[in-house]
Structure 1
Amino acid sequence: MSERPEILILNGPNLNMLGTREPEVYGAETLDDIEAMCAEHAAALDLSVDFRQSNFEGEMVTIIQQARDNAAGIIINAGAYTHTSVAIHDALRVAELPVIEVHLSNIHRREEFRHHSYISAVAEGIIVGLGSQGYTLALDAMARLLDRN
């Protein structure tokens, strides 16, 4: 692990389409914009980030498993896999790292199937509906969680 604790920020399917995908729901920022914002904010908190995105469930599981050895915590926006993936839930549990779940939109104001999250059961906290600011708030919360340990 580097001198600054590394936080894995993992994004799921279709988040690579931010900026063009339903901007009325997800905003106009791109995932690259969010990554730059996170890197800057993490540096101010004396953290580093490993910012990733995958459209593939198995790849996300592998990234989470690898984080066990080199990350201090995980911030995850699993996209649609939030509502369907027991495999991602299990990988997060096995990682034994603090987890913060983030969603750009308020999943509880959307379709009924989005109201259930398999991630929430293993997360220290959940941030929904605050757009890209949710990522910086998650970094703030992660910094506090790591200070407690």
Structure 2
Amino acid sequence: MNTRIMLLNGPNLNMLGQREPDIYGHSTLEDVVALVRDRAAGHGLEVDALQSNHEGGLIDALHRARGTHVGCVINPGGLTHTSVALLDAVRASELPTVEVHISNPHAREAFRHHSYISGAAKAVIAGAGIAGYGFAVDILAAHHNEGH
């Protein structure tokens, strides 16, 4: 039985804890991955994690996850607002996907208010800090346990 979740983090998320801590907090990407792995383990799930500053790396990971994972947690970073290709890859993966944003994009610059990815997401969590990643795992686990 498939029990893997894909965790994808986009451009600049490797700089968590260093970049604009007033917006993104002091937690690091390693903290995010540990949180997701711990939460997933509590649901009997495992996690494959990837951070890439390259759109193609995220797209390739989504293609590989099709049929091998039960869902995807994605924080697309700045690609949220620009990448139709990433949206198409989320759709092509056929995975239930939860979009996560550490900050609340709607409380920021106007160009951040639109997400291409949201159109293909099962749920969107924004503004909850890194706790949002844990909520995303809970959503995917509930979906998986319902047999969808």
TM range (shorter): over 0.9
What residue is the counterpart of 1:137 in the other structure?
135
- 1:28 and 2:29 matched: no
What residue is the counterpart of 1:14 in the other structure?
12
1:89-108 paired onto structure 2 within 5 Å: 89-108=87-106
Superposed displacement of residue 40, structure 1: 1.0
Deviations 1:76-106 (A, max 9, x none): 0000000000000000101111010000000
Superposed displacement of residue 4, structure 1: 5.8
State how far apart, in whole Å, the 1-side matches of 2:42 and 2:144 are. 15
State how far apart, in whole Å, the 1-side matches of 2:75 and 2:99 are. 6
Paired residues of 2:9 and 2:76 also in contact (CA < 8 A): yes
Which of 73, 92, 115 is residue 113 of structure 2 equivalent to? 115
State the secondary structure of the residue aligned to 1:25: helix
Letter in 1 for 2:133: Y
What residue is the counterpart of 2:53 in the other structure?
55
- 1:68 and 2:59 matched: no
State how far apart, in whole Å, the 1-side matches of 2:39 and 2:93 are. 24
Superposed displacement of residue 69, structure 1: 3.2
TM-score, reference length from structure 2 = 0.97
What residue is the counterpart of 1:45 in the other structure?
43
Show structure 1 runs of 4+ deviating over 4 A.
Answer: none
Letter in 1 for 2:127: G
What residue is the counterpart of 1:87 in the other structure?
85
Superposed displacement of residue 41, structure 1: 1.1
Letter in 2 for 1:71: H
State how far apart, in whole Å, the 2-side matches of 1:20 and 1:134 are. 19
Unpaired runs of 5+ in structure 1? Answer: none
Letter in 1 for 2:76: A
Paired residues of 2:2 and 2:68 also in contact (CA < 8 A): no
State how far apart, in whole Å, the 2-side matches of 1:67 and 1:115 are. 28
State how far apart, in whole Å, the 1-side matches of 2:52 and 2:69 are. 18
Letter in 1 for 2:90: L
State how far apart, in whole Å, the 1-side matches of 2:2 and 2:23 are. 34
Deviations 1:32-64 (A, max 9, x none): 011111111110111111111000001111111
